[in-house]
Structure 1
C-alpha cells in the first residue's frame, strides 16, 4: 500500500518535478488538488492535516501560511521546498549528507536546501568542520544556473528574449540564499555571492575560489580533495572527482534530470590557489531530488528510491 504525499504548489516548476518523481515511486503516491480546489483554503487545510507527508512548493509567505494551517495535533510531516524555514528554529535542514541521515529520518519539519547553497555547502561545510578551511574566511561564491531555477517568470523571459546569453543578478549583494550558506557552513561572515543564469533549462555550476597560501595553516588542494573524498565515501548521491584537469566543465542546454552532485578540487602548481567546484542539477539535488531523498529517509526507505542518478554516482 502506497503512502500519500500532498504536494502543495504542484503547478510550479519544482512541484511538477516532485509529482513526476512521486508518480514513479514504488512507495509514495502524489496527492494533487485539482484546479477548482487548489486555491480553496479548506481543501488545502484538510490535505495538509490528513496526509502523512506534505511537500510545500510555494513562495515563502505562502509556505509560512501553509504551515500555520497544520493543527498542533496533526501527524503530517512536512518538507518545505521554499526558503522560508532554512534558518528557522524547529526545522531540520534537509541536507542529509551534512546534518546526518538520522536527523532527517526523525524530523517532522524539514527545510529543503536552496540549489546554490547545496553546491556551496557540499564543498565548504565538511572542510570547515574538519578544520582545513577557516570559519572566519571571507568566502566568495561564483555560480551559474539554468533558467528553470527562476520559475515560470524567468522561463518565460528567456523564451521571449532568445538573444540573451547571460544574466548576472543579485547585484544588491543581499541574496536570500546567503543566510543558509553562512549558518550551515558554520561561518563567521556572510559570503560574497555572485549568481548568474544562462539559456539552459537545468544544470548548475557553483564555484568557491580560494587563496590557500593566505590561510594559516595553508592547506593544499590535495588535502581538501582527500578530506572531501573521505567525508562522502560511500555516498550514493555525492561524487568527489579524482585529481586532474578535465580541460573544461560543461552545462548542457538539454541535460537530462540528475539527482546527484559532482565535486571537484583544482589546484595550481605550488599550491597557492584552488578552485572548489560543484556541478549539479538545480531541479535535482538542488530541489526536487533533494525533497524525494528527504521523504525517503523520513519514511524509513532507502534514500535513493526513485532518484535519478547518473552512472558516476
Structure 2
C-alpha cells in the first residue's frame, strides 16, 4: 500500500485541470468534426453539451469522462435524497438534464438497484469481530450504510487508489459515527499483497473500466487470496448491449427505448465515457471460477444491465 500513487493512472476517471470553457470547446469541436449521426444531429448534441455544462455533476463528467467516489455516492444515494426533494447537494432545484440522468437513464437506474443489492448482501456479513473490506472504497457507502446495531467490535476497511475518495470516506464515516470501526488505505487493487484477511470484499467499479480479460481474472484472484476461507466476494459487471454483436441479456421490455437513446447520446457520443467494458454472466462466472471462487450466484436488476455477483472462497 502506498500514499504516493500516481493519480494519472486512475481507471475510473481523469483528473483534469483543463478550464471548463476549454473542455466544452474541445468536445464541441469533435462533435462538429464527426457531423450528424443517423439518430442525432450536431445541433442537438451541442444543445445537450451546453446543458451538461450548467450543473456540477455534468461539469465533472465533461472534464473527467468518468465518475469518482464523491459523484458515485451522489448518484447512488439520489433515490433517498434528490429524488424525494427534487434538489441537488446544495439544496437547489435539479437541472432537467441532471434529473434525466439520475432518474431515467437506464444504466443509472440499474446502478442504483445494484447498490441496494450490495447493501442487502453485505449486511449478511455484519457480525462482531468480522473484517469487511470495500475495494475500491469510494465513499465507503457499501459498508457505512449497513446496520451495526448490537455490534461492538468490527473492522471496516476501505482501499482505494484515489486519495480524494479516501478523504470522502473518512468524512462519511465521521458523519455516520462509524469512524471508530473504519480503516482507510491507499492502494492498487491489483497489488493487494494480502492473504486470508477479510470475511467480505465488496467491489464495484473496476472491471467496467478494464478491457483486458486476463487482468480482470487477476483482480478476482487478488480478491480470492485476500479473503479468509469461507469469505465472500460481492461484485458486479455491465452486460452487453443488443447492438454489440455479443449475447445480450437485457430485458428490453423493462427499458424505455427513448431514454436509452438519450443516455447513449450523452455518455457515448458527447462524453465518450470511460466505463465501456462489458461482459456476459457466463464469462464472469468463468473468470471467477478461474480465480478459485465457488458457489457463484447472480442477482439481476430489473433490466439485467448491471448484475450483482456473489462468490465464495472455500
Classify the TM-score, shorter chain: under 0.3
Q: Higher strand proportion, which one? A: 1
TM-score normalised to structure 2 length: 0.28
* TM-score, normalised by the number of residues in structure 1: 0.28
Higher helix share goes to which structure?
Answer: 2
